Amino acid sequence: MNDTKAPLILNGQAEAHAELSVLELIRRETGLALGADGRTAEGTSPGLAAAVNDEVVPRSAWAGTPLQPGDRIELLSAVQGG
């Protein structure tokens, strides 16, 4: 990974991040220690969904999906309640 900043749109806000994958961005934004499969150390789902340029990225593809300058990323978390 190099130090080049890639301007991204994250949840509607312009952000500058080094070149990284969807998984690396999620790790940075949430502080979660996720494995290469996008799961926690306990093997559970983090309750998150990611979309890049209006396309959902399956958790199994987070590590292999590089982000490009200008990409629009939406990170969504599951909410419980009634």
Q: Are 76 and 29 in contact (CB under 8 A)?
A: no
**Tell me, what DSSP letter sits at residue 4?**
-
Write down the pTM of the prediction. 0.84
CATH number of 5-77: 3.10.20.30
Q: pLDDT of 29-75, one tens digit each? A: 999 999 999 999 999 999 999 999 999 999 999 999 999 999 999 99
Cα separation, 8 vs 5, whole angstroms? 9
Q: Where are the domains of the chain?
A: 5-77
